[in-house]
Structure 1
Amino acid sequence: MQISESVKLHRKVLTEVARQTVNGTLDTDVESILQTVVSEAGPRYRCCIHKERAVLKNRITLAVGRSVEEDIHEATQKALKGEVLKEAAVLTVLPEACDQCPIDKFIVTDACRNCIAHNCINVCPKKAITIHQNRAYIDQEKCVECGACKRACPFGAIIEISRPCERACAVKAISAGSDRRAVIDIEKCVECGACKVACPFGAVADRSFIVPLIQDLKTTKKVFAMVAPAFVGQFGAGISPKKIFQALKQLGFSGVYEVALGADMVTLFEAEEFLETVPEQRKYMTTSCCPAFADLIRKHMPNILPHMSSTTSPMVATAEIVKKEYPDSVAVFIGPCAAKKSEARRYPDLIDYVITYEELAAMMVGAGINVTEIVEEDVEFLASRHGAIFGRAGGVLEAVAETIKDLAPEAEVKGIKTDGLANCRTMLLQLNAGKLDANIMEGMSCIGGCVGGPGTIMDARVTSKLVDNFAKTVNYDMASKNEVAKKEVQEVDMHRK
């Protein structure tokens, strides 16, 4: 993720909230965050310090897991009691932060030459273009935003303007409301977080659950971390996975589980599902571990739903192991993904909290833990190379396809993969229309796969390589050779809800 000023502000708020929660002062000192993050001396991003602090109040209420409409003191008190809005939408527009971007879609620029041909006027179906003071002018009341004028102009003098958040949303779930502020349509939204990353004003944010989690870590409860495969390299190339595991224990976690082990289980189950159903029951199968990709199919392409794998995600498979071994424990998924917070809503008995790597970093800083100073302790990694590579684009397909061939060498496997939700939609349409010669497809909503998620810290191009390097060091090369995964897959429910 690019480290913009809005990202820095978001992380600073999370860190201050975490620090005060750890110190037990959040209920009395929460308002001091307004002075800590934005002081009279600056930096200043908006018209005045009052506007800056109004935006910060929105950020704080989301950071403590409540609604932006609430007073920060009331929100904080409820969060400290564990009253967070787990069932509410994950992504929220901060009303004070939204810049109400202009929404005139097509605009004539100074490049207009007032040519004799007037191609723009001739192609406009609504006669919305006229000439004023030697240049074309678009009457926005008449314009239907078809784009014909833009395509017709020989000078490229007509440009198309779109809000960054709208442009980033592949399912058209975000648009301008009556007051020009962005509005998210929850019925369409797949909660991938692309709008959060795209907004240059930081006006879209995801709800955080770090406050009740820190409160649980301070009790005698057994709290277990489930770390997604993309965690490798998130704290820098020099920070080993062993150090991250040790840091989690210093935070107060009772133990750490590799979600890559759950990925091995998913690999085994999906391979079996493929062999049982393709091509006898269906022509092709898609993977289902990415929740935003799964919701793209579920909400927007229901005709493809029968082709989606019925296998649960690695997060849920790992949570099944945790709750089987420790039924009264608190299970916390730590990953790069906003959509995992929405997926967790379907499994309230298995997953208690979902936090991102961003939020984990804030908790570590808030607790005074410096990962670089941690002394490594021996850790036995249980997952195979297959589970470890789930974190980058192409990893799921590689793992499942290789396992299919290992289980049934005679099976015909023709795999395709893509990342980015818009690319996923296009490929699904082509695959379903029979235009692609494939019988299994991997879809990842984030560019680069999970390593490119909205809750990551490091550049996906770097961490993708580090994930592969780490995968070469584990004990097993394939999921089908991992006896732990083979045993667990027989003992837990691997079917998606």
Structure 2
Amino acid sequence: MSELNKRFENFQEKRMHIFSEIVDRYWNGKLHEEKDLENLAYEIKEKYEFEEKDMNFIKNHIRVAMGLDPSDNKKFECEIKNIKEYKKVNKPIVTKIDGACEYCEKECSCEDSCKYEAHIYKRTKGPIIENNKCLNCGECVKDCDFGALADKIEFVPLIDMLKDKNTKVYAAVAPSITGQFGDATMGQIRTGLKLMGFEDMVEVALFADILTIKEAFEFIELVKDEEDFYLTSCCCPVWFKLVQKKYPELFEHMPPSISPMIASGRFLKKLYEGSKVVFISPCIAKKAEAKEKELEGDIDFVLTFRELKTVFDTLNINLSQLANDEKDQASFAGRVYARTGGVSFSVKSVVNRLNPKRLIKLKSKKVHGTKACNKLLSELSSNQKIDYNFVEGMGCNGGCVGGPRTNIDVAKATALVNEFGEDSLIMTPFDNENVFKILSQFNVDDINKMMENEEIVNMLKR
């Protein structure tokens, strides 16, 4: 790489430095006016030896790190005001930032990064994003080392809420969180989040337990003979969107379930009126899912593991030195949703519990990675004879543990998820007293009657 272009090299790391600086200054009351952002932009320019012509590129990364859209404006004008007024981050999530592509010397084109159908194209002025086709899987953002593509970060608009004593903010953490913050235990992560201002931390695996029960009932109802099959819909937004957009003829095999993320928001907001819910995961697509029209408002903000780690580091919260506030909230089955095969295992365990003498057994087909998902769906749509009846697709390789914003590699994350699942004192959703406690709030005193409750059914439906 030429000396001229090194200022763009390893921009993913530089981007996190920009985010850290914004968090530090906003958290500590040092960002009051647009001139404060101008000063930050020039500090970034000097630190990384950018040129004057790169200033709008830097400013747009500051905007995106604040959860705002890129702009053609050469000056900051009302960004601070907007951040204080915004109660949400708007679509699109993945954005193009001009100013870097002309310096890129990579032989591969941007389309090689798209693991689905190359909806991002290399052009002389940079990539073109077709947002009506993009699955928001995040592969292109992860692979773009020059910063021409970026996903908005949703933490800065959240800061004022965390500091407001009258606003209760709950952290709903994805099952793949275990091991993502070094040796810190889940209890220490909970303590760290509370120090930051969160009311409490809740395992989304608890709500995966509830969705598992729903899908088990649906499987029993819908798969009546050897030709029937069921496409799970309750976990991965990339899988869900792929089916919805490209294979509408298969969509009828996918019941309109919400994801555990959405369920966590709906249930927590129902149980704790006026509360806010922040989902924390390795997934960029979850940021887009939370902004879908029929789901909007269920989750207020989405953070990634990498973003949260930057926040902990910036605020000098050393997790390994904190008190261990442990709570056993979810079953083994709910926790292993984080890796490929977890949903299939979980639903099968409940189907066998509900109907052990059922003649048609659940036979799963598990695929991961968008190319493999696309291939399987293509085979299904061609009406080929199949020897399975429950289809689980995960957009990332290895499942959620392979998401674009993880802090550790897939193999290590998978092992830790399995270990964390085994540590649970609860084996299946049917053994989870926390599920019983939640359902009792809706006058359901028997899990077998959960799907007879109209309010519960509606809460779990798209």
TM superposition score category, shorter chain reference: 0.7 to 0.9
1:21 aligns with 2:26: yes
Q: Is the 8 A contact 1:228 1:260 kept in 2?
A: yes
State the Cα RMSD in Å: 2.3
> For 1:108-132, what per-residue CA distance to the aligned partner results, in whole angstroms no more than 9, with x for missing partners?
xxxxxxxxxxxxxxxxxxxxxxxxx
Q: Is the 8 A contact 1:18 1:211 kept in 2?
A: yes
Cα distance, 1:365 vs. partner?
A: 2.2
1:67–1:182 distance in 2 versus 1, CA, 3 Å? same
Distance in 2 (CA, whole Å) between partners of 1:50 and 1:435 is 62
Cα distance, 1:67 vs. partner?
A: 1.2
Aligned residue for 2:415? 465
Aligned residue for 1:266? 211
- Which runs of structure 2 are paired with 1:331-342 in the superposition (5 Å)? 331-342=277-288
Normalised by the length of structure 2, the TM-score is 0.87
Distance in 1 (CA, whole Å) between partners of 2:227 and 2:79 is 51
1:255 aligns with 2:200: yes
Normalised by the length of structure 1, the TM-score is 0.81
Aligned residue for 2:3? none
Distance in 2 (CA, whole Å) between partners of 1:460 and 1:429 is 27
- Which runs of structure 2 are paired with 1:313-332 in the superposition (5 Å)? 313-332=259-278
Give the share of equivalent positions with the same residue, in percent.
33
> For 1:365-391, what per-residue CA distance to the aligned partner results, in whole angstroms no more than 9, with x for missing partners?
2322122222323x2221000111111
Distance in 2 (CA, whole Å) between partners of 1:412 and 1:205 is 44
1:427 aligns with 2:430: no
Structure with greater helix percent:
2
How many residues get paired? 429
> For 1:206-240, what per-residue CA distance to the aligned partner results, in whole angstroms no more than 9, with x for missing partners?
1122111011111121111111111101111x111
- 1:6 counterpart (7, 11, 20): 11
> For 1:160-187, what per-residue CA distance to the aligned partner results, in whole angstroms no more than 9, with x for missing partners?
x75144443413321235x441011011
User: Higher Cα Rg: structure 1 or 2?
Assistant: 1
Cα distance, 1:20 vs. partner?
A: 1.2
- 1:450 counterpart (383, 400, 407): 400
Distance in 1 (CA, whole Å) between partners of 2:267 and 2:388 is 33
Q: Which amino acid aligns with 1:225?
A: A
- 1:191 counterpart (129, 136, 146): 136
Aligned residue for 1:383? 330
Q: Which moved further from structure 2: 432-441 or 481-490?
A: 481-490
Cα distance, 1:55 vs. partner?
A: 2.6
Q: Which amino acid aligns with 2:80?
A: Q
Q: Which amino acid aligns with 1:375?
A: A
What is the DSSP-based 3-state SS (H/G/I as helix, E as strand, rest coil) of the residue aligned with 1:181?
coil
Distance in 2 (CA, whole Å) between partners of 1:328 and 1:51 is 46
Unmatched segments (≥5 aa) in structure 1: 104-160
- 2:158 counterpart (207, 210, 213): 213
Aligned residue for 1:418? 367
Q: Which amino acid aligns with 1:463?
A: A
1:383–1:461 distance in 2 versus 1, CA, 3 Å? same
Distance in 2 (CA, whole Å) between partners of 1:344 and 1:191 is 12
> For 1:277-314, what per-residue CA distance to the aligned partner results, in whole angstroms no more than 9, with x for missing partners?
11369721111111111011111111111111322110
1:32 aligns with 2:32: no
Distance in 1 (CA, whole Å) between partners of 2:225 and 2:438 is 28
Distance in 2 (CA, whole Å) between partners of 1:76 and 1:285 is 47
1:32–1:381 distance in 2 versus 1, CA, 3 Å? farther
Q: Is the 8 A contact 1:99 1:201 kept in 2?
A: no
Q: Is the 8 A contact 2:110 2:121 kept in 1?
A: no
Distance in 2 (CA, whole Å) between partners of 1:175 and 1:290 is 25
Q: Which amino acid aligns with 2:62?
A: I
Aligned residue for 1:439? 389
1:65 aligns with 2:70: no
1:453–1:75 distance in 2 versus 1, CA, 3 Å? farther
Q: Is the 8 A contact 1:232 1:470 kept in 2?
A: yes
